[in-house]
Amino acid sequence: MSANRRFFMKTIAILPAAVVSGMAVAQNAAMKKNLQYQDTPKNGQRCDQCLHYVADPKKAGEGICKVIPNDTVKAAGWCTAWVKKA
């Protein structure tokens, strides 16, 4: 198999993953915008006090939001989906 053909085959193999990844990033950005996400608290409400927030043990001050999948949020952030933890 020629080098050009190998390169083409590898590129074709990873292209769908790259497209899906790019779509996920765009979808998360749109979701954050719709939820009015901000990296700072609002009226004393913070992501780390929210029911949807899961702290990331590897990254201090960041975590995962169950409403915005596959993206990190700041512990001190806030959005309109905020619900006080029980």
Q: Is residue 80 part of a domain?
A: no
Range scoring the smallest mean pLDDT among 5-14, 27-36, 53-62: 5-14
Q: What is the DSSP letter of 48?
A: G
Q: Is residue 81 part of a domain?
A: no
* C-alpha dihedral (60, 34, 20, 25), degrees to nearest 10: -40
Looking at the structure of the chain, the number of domains it has is 1
Contact 75, 63 (CB under 8 A): yes
| Owning domain of residue 30 | 3-74
Range scoring the smallest mean pLDDT among 20-29, 44-53, 63-72: 20-29
Q: Is residue 68 part of a domain?
A: yes
A 10 A CB-CB count for 45 gives 14
Q: Is residue 42 part of a domain?
A: yes
CA pair distance 3, 10, nearest whole angstrom: 11
* C-alpha dihedral (18, 19, 21, 27), degrees to nearest 10: 160
Task: Tell me the whole-structure pTM to 2 decimals.
Answer: 0.69
